[in-house]
Structure formats: structure tokens, C-alpha cells
Chain A
Amino acid sequence: MPHTPEGIVARPGELVVLVGTMKGAFLFRLESGSERSGGQSGNGGATGWSMDGPHFPGEEVYAMAADQRSGRVTFWAAPGNPFFGTTLRRSDDGGATWSSGEERPVAFPEGSELSLKRIWQIHPGLEERPHEMWLGVEPSCLFRSTDGGDSWAPVLGFMEHEHRPRWTPGAGGLCLHTILQDPEKPERMGVAFSTGGFYRTDDGGTTWHPSTRGVRAEFLPDKHPEFGQCVHKVVHHPQRPERLYLQNHWGLYRSDDWGGQWQDIANGVPSDFGFAMAVHPGDPDTAYIVPLEADTFRCTPEARMRVYRTRDAGGSWHPLTQGLPQEDAYETVLRDALDTAEGSEEDQACVVFGTRSGKIFASSNDGDSWEMIQDGLPPVVCVKAARIR
């Protein structure tokens, strides 16, 4: 029988990691003072880490979030029951209890001819707008809440976009998985979805235009269409919101003008195919990816588990391997299964990722060294790391 989850109580300064899998969610906590000790404990767990779960056992959890705005810690999760559909749940007590699925319904309006299949992204939004939240869902759409997540409505300018009939699902479904917002200009946002590309609004969501000039679509006769690219992930840093990094279905790109133009930055990577991407919390020029060999073989190249890091905005990428398996590691890291959080040391990042084989790896020093903090989970589809304030 699974353990009965009790939730976690994390103190200010501690690290929490929310992990969504195809069979439930798990909450990890790293005790204060453990981050420099390193090493493995005797029971297979990593030093200082504790795990709580499974939450929502048997349900797929593709989206989670920790929201610390408004001075409290709220966990969000979107468990998908394989029979009865997806719901949005909230916990204000570290996962000890979760709200009922019917309290915050997420549904398309009647007459839209759309029905919710899955929630792919829970995006708490900007600090100065604590009541605003966003969801990315399948079929591709953006939902907005203005009351802290209690009620939701689709962004009509996106839902009714004239391109919608020509958006087609990738292998994971027609999923909107990336939501970015400009903290200096909140009416500017970007969303990415597979397939469709990267779309931007400059008027708060009324109009959206594809912004993937320069991004390839290897699977189409026209390799540079206006839209239709299979974008796997886009990230940016709030201190430099106009600079975007994009992991494509074949292709690694950067834009310095909010997606107006993209340039290839696949410099020194074993493959430019992959899903996951994250940016350093303290440095807009530092980003992380996990290359995969090919779309026909979505495993780490040469059976080596390597995270690649750039410190010069994609000018060069370097493998991070210390503590990661370098033999017979046929691993896959999916689009939302890599995340970063502020480290305990100034300017150092915690980097965490999970694999389809159910392993969780974490680094407390920018990715220079890693330890496996858990093995044997169901396939990991979502990892969210947060430093408790």
C-alpha cells in the first residue's frame, strides 16, 4: 500500500521540490544546513532530503506550482483522473490537505466546441499581481484567474485565434506548456505550444501573433513557416525578460527581442533535440538543457546523463556530469521536468530534474555536482523547485 501523505512543513530558507508523475505527486523537502554536506545516506535516500507522497495516487500530475506571493506558501496541482478528467487542486498546509476538485472548475465555455483534456502549466504570475494566475491547457489555450485561482476563464483572444484550426497536436497532445510574462510590461506575454509555435501578445491577450521567425519546422515541407513549429519549451529571466531561450523539436535558439527574431545557439551540444530547459535564478546568461539523441530515440546521447549549461547566453554549452550516471543511462527528461531555484549560497542555483525512469537528481551548486535524491518513482513529468521565503 502507498504511504499516506502527511504534507511537508518547510521553514524559511529551505528548499522544496514538487514532483508530478504519471501516477501521482510527491513533495520533497531539503532540511536547512544539508545543502553542503552532500553524499548518500545508507537507505538509498540523499542526505537531508525527505519525501512525502504519493498525493493523488494513480492520477497523472502534469502541472504543479508553489506560489509564495501574498506572504504564504500555496501548493497547486492538476491531477488528471484517467476516467473522469482533470481538476485543479490547492493546498495551504504543505500538502496535508487539498481542496476538492469541484471548488475551482476549469472548463471551456459551452459553444466553444472545446473540452479540457489536461492542464500542462500552472503559472502564478507576477509578484505585484498576487491575485492573477494563469493556466496552460490542452487543447492549447490560456486560462486566466483574477481572484487567486478561485475562478477561471479562457483568454478569448487566444481561444478564438484564427489559426486554431491549423494547430495540430504533437506526440504529447496539443498542449500549451509555456507561459511567460514581462514584469516591466505586464500586457506583454508569450505562450508556447506543440505544435503551433510561440505566440506573443502586446495588449494583454486581446491579440496574439506568431513570433517564431528563424525557428525551424523540420517535419513540414516549409521549414520556416509563419507558425506551426513544435516548440518544446521557452524560458526567460525576469531581470531580462526580452531575452528568450527556446528548445525546439530539433533546434536550440535565443531571441533578444521577445521573439521577434531567433538565432541558433546549438554550440557544442551533442544534439539540439530535447525538451527541458531552465534559466539560472540569478543570471540571465546562464541556462540549462538536457539534450536527447533524436526524436526517433528520445534518450540521452551515448547513454550518458548530461545536463548542459551555458554561461554566455548560448555562445557555448558545457556538459555537467559529476554525480550523474555516465554508463547505460538511457534517460529522458521531459519538457517540464527541469527547474531551478535560488541556492543557499549567494549567486548559486539549485538545479533539479526528474526522468521518465523515476529518478530525481539535484544540485546545490549551479549544476557542478549532483546527487540522486530519489529513485523508483513513476515516470516524472513535472518538477518545480522553490526556496521558501
Chain B
Amino acid sequence: MILPAQLREHTAGVGTLELGSASSLRDALQALKQQHPFVHLRILTETGHLRPHVNLFVDGEDIRFGNGLDTPLLPGSEILVIPAVSGG
């Protein structure tokens, strides 16, 4: 998982996290919760929904236009966390 700069202060500056052999994005996020619970809470709300202004890309595909949190992962899949273009 590749984190944006805003979240790296909560991982001691580390920008790339290894999240084990999860077979789905949901499982990978669960692994993130174990490693970095605060970062998990910045990406998902307490109810488990993706924050509205955060985008997740799995191997280059926006999960909102695919299978969402049930997006399957392959060995070596890359999860990119990017703040959305929004606000004013």
C-alpha cells in the first residue's frame, strides 16, 4: 500500500506498507488496521465506509468503479491511497 504524504507522519515516515497475502482489499485493510489503526481510521470511517474524499486504486483501477472494498488482490497487487480532487 502506498500512502500519501499526509498520512506518512503516522507511519514514522514510511510511505509503502507491506500488508501480507490478503486476497481482497477488505482483508488488506484489516491488516492495515492491525499495523496502523490510526491510518486505517483516516481511510475508512468507524462504520467501515471509504471516506468520501479518499480514493483507492488497486493496480491502477479506482475501486469505486469496480468491486469496492471487495476488490480481489493478486500477489504483488499495489494499493494506492490518493486524496480526491475536491474542496475549495
Q: Are A and B bound to each other?
A: yes
Return chain A residues, CB-CB under 8 Å to B6: 81, 83-84
Bound-state CA distance A210–B2 (Å) is: 48
Residue B47, interface by CB 8 Å: yes
Q: Which A79-120 residues have a C-beta within 8 angstroms of B?
A: 81-85, 100-102, 105, 107-110, 112-116
- Determine whether B66 belongs to the interface, using a CB cutoff of 8 Å to chain A: no
Do the beta carbons of B51 and A83 come within 8 Å of each other?
A: yes
Q: How far is the CB of B57 from chain A (nearest CB, A)?
A: 15
Given contacts A82-B86, A100-B9, contact A105 B53 (CB under 8 A): no
Decide if A107 touches B84 in the complex (CB within 8 Å).
Answer: no
The A interface, classified by DSSP as helix, strand, loop or mixed, is loop
Instruction: Give Cα A82–Cα B84 distance, bound, in whole angstroms.
Output: 10
Compute how far the CA of A82 lies from the CA of B51 in the bound complex, rounded to whole angstroms: 10
> In the complex, what residues of B have CB within 8 A of residue A81's CB?
6, 42
Q: A84-B6, A84-B7 are in contact. Are A115 and B38 (CB under 8 A)?
A: no
- Asked if A105 contacts B38 (CB within 8 A), the reply is yes
Contact A115–B42 (Cβ < 8 Å): no
Given A81-B6, A84-B6, A102 and B45 touching (CB < 8 A)? no
A71 vs B45: C-alpha distance in the bound complex, in angstroms? 37
Contacts of B42 in A (CB 8 A): 81, 84-85
Kindly list chain B residues whose C-beta atoms are within 8 Å of the C-beta of A82: 53, 86-87
Q: Do the beta carbons of A83 and B10 come within 8 Å of each other?
A: no
A100–B53 CB distance below 8 A: no
Neighbouring B residues of A116 by C-beta, 8 Å: 45-46
Known: A100-B9, A102-B10. A83 touches B84 (CB 8 A): yes
Q: Is B1 an interface residue (CB 8 A)?
A: no
Bound Cα distance from A113 to B49, whole angstroms: 10
Interface size on A, residues (CB 8 A): 18
- CB-defined interface of B36-66 with A at 8 Å, one 1/0 digit per residue? 0010011101110101011000000000000
Report if B83 contacts A (CB, 8 A): yes
Cα–Cα distance between A350 and B84 once the two chains are bound (Å): 42
Q: Which of B7, B43, B46, B86 contacts A110 (CB 8 A)?
A: B46
Q: How far is the CA of A84 from the CA of B41 in the complex (A)?
A: 8
- B36's closest neighbor in chain A, by CB? A102
- In the complex, residue of chain B having the shortest beta-carbon distance to the beta carbon of A117: B45
Closest beta carbon of chain B to A297's beta carbon, Å: 22
Give, as a whole number of angstroms, the nearest-CB distance from B17 to chain A: 16
Residue of A nearest to B39 (CB): A102
List 30 A-B pairs, Cβ < 8 Å: A81-B42, A82-B53, A82-B86, A82-B87, A83-B6, A83-B51, A83-B54, A83-B83, A84-B7, A84-B43, A84-B51, A84-B54, A84-B83, A85-B45, A85-B51, A100-B9, A100-B10, A101-B10, A101-B38, A102-B10, A102-B38, A105-B38, A107-B41, A107-B46, A108-B46, A110-B46, A112-B46, A114-B47, A115-B45, A116-B45
Chain B contacts to A: CB under 8 angstroms: 6-7, 9-10, 38, 41-43, 45-47, 49, 51, 53-54, 83-84, 86-87
16 further interface pairs, Cβ-Cβ under 8 Å (given A84-B42, A108-B47, A113-B47)? A81-B6, A82-B53, A83-B51, A83-B53, A83-B84, A84-B6, A84-B54, A85-B41, A85-B51, A100-B9, A101-B10, A102-B10, A105-B41, A110-B46, A114-B46, A115-B47
